[in-house]
Amino acid sequence: MSRMPLPKSDGATPSGSPLLGPLLSSLLLVALGAIPGSLLRWLVDDLTVVNLLGAFVLGWLTAMAAARPRAWLLVGGVGFCGSLTSFSGWILELHTHIQGSGWWVALAGWFLELTGGLLMAALGMGLGRWMQRRWLPQMGNRPRR
Amino acid sequence: MMPKQALLVAAGAVPGAWLRFLLVNHLAERLPSKPWGTLIVNLLACFVLGWILPGLQRPGAPPEASLLLVTGFLGSLSTFSTLMVELLTVRALGPLVRLVFGSLVGGFLALMVGLVLGR
């Protein structure tokens, strides 16, 4: 199998379907998460809500990913949470609020979403770590790939 | 949910997520840490958003283009959740402040430059 430029920071070895190869399987898994993620963002139609929700879910997924296959983060993290949340929309809202309510209100809103996002990510991570500890005996039996 | 509109959003979202995945992996080897790659992809999305937005808001512009390119492609290309989780992994104050201000100032400037060029 040829070596592909897969992320090293996940701490996992490249794996994938032998039919598709590591890059194509990764792209397939990312697409599998990106479709429901983007549709949910479009249906909810409130960027702050999906951004905070996505930060929480990704924090949880990241903490849970340690004992799980790489596909977990590709579908749920890169695909679903990455597409559910949007940075460009967040900056566009800042721009819209500057024109509508002035610089200070817009910057305060931007800062609130930043601190809220960090808090939700930390809460999700905390929950994931707690669940890992709580169900560690069962999870220890899973093959670490 | 309108099937045609949902299809447009999804059709834009898949290449957006792919480009983010490939670019972040490509940049991860060339930058000091992973959040910088995420930041660059986010700034790229802000620039393109500013660049195409004036055209999409012109009277007579098809609403389908906005769903495909803005909601689908750019919404998926840029990410908020990854940035938040990656910011939590930054332990030093200096890089953390640079990343936060890079997101705010860089994102806003990228959008403005795009808006001026797209006018």
pLDDT per position as a tens digit, B76-99: 999 999 999 999 999 899 999 999
Q: What is the C-alpha separation between B96 and B35, in angstroms, rounded?
A: 10
Report pTM. 0.88
Contact A121 B13 (CB under 8 A): no
The pLDDT tens digits of the residues spanning A68-115 come to: 888 999 999 999 999 999 999 999 999 999 999 999 999 999 999 999
**Amino acid identity of A80?**
F
The domain limits of chain A are 30-139
Interface ipTM = 0.94
Domain span holding position B75: 3-118
For A144, other C-beta atoms within 10 Å of its C-beta total: 11
Tell me what percent of the residues of chain A surpass a pLDDT of 90. 70
As a three-state string, the secondary structure of chain A is: CCCCCCCCCCCCCCCCCCCCHHHHHHHHHHHHHHHHHHHHHHHHCCHHHHHHHHHHHHHHHHHHHHHCCHHHHHHHHHHHHHHHCCHHHHHHHHHHHHHHHCHHHHHHHHHHHHHHHHHHHHHHHHHHHHHHHHCHHHHCCCCCC
**pLDDT category, B1, cuts 50, 70, 90?**
low
CA distances from B23 to A109, B16, B39, B54, B100 (A): 29, 11, 11, 26, 20
- Chain A contact probe: residue of B80, B82, B109 with most A CBs at under 10 A: B80
Q: Judged by CB atoms within 8 Å, which residues 4-23 of B form the interface with A?
A: 5-6, 9-10, 12-14, 16-18, 20-21
3-class SS at B117?
helix
**A117 CA to chain B: closest CA distance, Å?**
6
d(CA B101, CA B106): 7
* pLDDT at residue number A15: 55
C-alpha of A53 from chain center: 10
End-to-end CA distance of chain B: 33
- d(CA A82, CA B42) in angstroms, rounded, equals 11
Contacts of A7 (CB under 8 A, 6+ apart): B24, B25, B28, B34
Residue of A nearest to B48 (CA): A88
Residue A144: predicted pLDDT:
52
B115 has a pLDDT exceeding 80: yes
Q: How far apart are CA B68 and CA B41, in angstroms?
A: 18
Overall number of domains in chain B = 1
Distance of residue A134 Cα from the nearest chain B Cα, in angstroms: 22
Q: Quote the pLDDT of residue A138.
A: 58
Rounded CA Rg of chain A: 18
